Amino acid sequence: MAAIAVVDYDMGNLHSACKALEKLGATPKITDSPADLDRADAIVLPGVGAFDPAMQHLRSRHLEAPITAAIAQGKPFLGICLGLQILFERSEEGQEPGLGIIPGCVRRFRSEPGLTIPHMGWNQLQLTQPHHPLWQQLSSDPFVYFVHSYYVDPADPTIRAATTTHGSQTVTAAIAWDNLSAVQFHPEKSSTNGLQILANFVSQVRALAAV
């Protein structure tokens, strides 16, 4: 059994992610309880919306410390979209400090002729950590679904697990570092490839829970 806490901080629809995890045999629980995060085998931090309200809502629920502690303890963690961005120190979108778990900044796409912002729709990943467990059984350049106007810029480029291009800009699409993984795209909206990515995460959770 893979008990996964899906963090509820009023930033987007969490039910699509939960339905996908349930379909894969996991036991997700939408929660804003620090005790639930502590008891869970793994944590998923989804999110849609703006950086500052996300951080304000996390702080109002006293979830900063439990999330940071769970990652530090080695618990499998998956951030999705805004749930990736708030792991960083700051964002050009707002003034609030992020969680600061990953050194670096969240940046806005540069304007250029013909470029649409937000970056929305299907795009290919270039896997920069091709052997990472999250990418098992995927093709070398899988298509996934994006909706974002900002992208993460990690201080340490080696934690990039995948990149994508929008216009002339190559940006980070996923990071992976020890037990922490996070993606800019929406796996729950990415059809077969997205389900495979979530299945790979659930497999990782089960393997660690069985130890």
β partners of residue 183: 80, 174
Nearest Cα to Cα of residue 26 among 45, 8, 4: 4
3-state helix, strand, coil in the chain (%, to 5): 30, 30, 35
Assess whether 186 carries a catalytic annotation: yes
Assess whether 188 carries a catalytic annotation: yes
At 187, list the tokens.
Answer: 């796996």
Q: Say what the pLDDT of residue 209 is.
A: 76
Nearest Cα to Cα of residue 134 among 178, 102, 101: 178
Q: Say what the pLDDT of residue 102 is.
A: 97
Q: Among the options 18, 119, 148, 188, which is catalytic?
A: 188
Q: Say what the pLDDT of residue 210 is.
A: 72
Q: How many domains does the chain have?
A: 1
**Positive or negative torsion for Cα 61, 64, 69, 71:** positive
Distance between CA 211 and CA 209 in Å, rounded?
6
At 17, list the tokens.
Answer: 């992610």
Residues of the chain with pLDDT under 70: 1
Q: Say what the pLDDT of residue 13 is.
A: 76
Distance between CA 29 and CA 177 in Å, rounded?
24
Using CA atoms, how far residue 167 sits from 20, 113, 117, 119, 178, in Å, is 31, 9, 10, 9, 31
Q: Among the options 81, 119, 148, 166, which is catalytic?
A: 81
Residue with the two structure tokens 């190559």: 170
Report CA 202 to chain centroid distance, whole Å.
Answer: 14
- The contacts of residue 135 (CB under 8 Å, 6+ apart) are 127, 129, 142, 161, 162, 197, 200
Q: What is the CATH number of the domain that holds 171?
A: 3.40.50.880
Q: Say what the pLDDT of residue 199 is.
A: 96
Q: Among the options 119, 148, 166, 186, which is catalytic?
A: 186
Angle 51-60/64-72 helices, nearest 10 degrees? 90
Residue 178's domain spans which residues?
3-209
Q: Say what the pLDDT of residue 1 is.
A: 67
Report CA 103 to chain centroid distance, whole Å.
Answer: 16
Distance between CA 32 and CA 9 in Å, rounded?
7
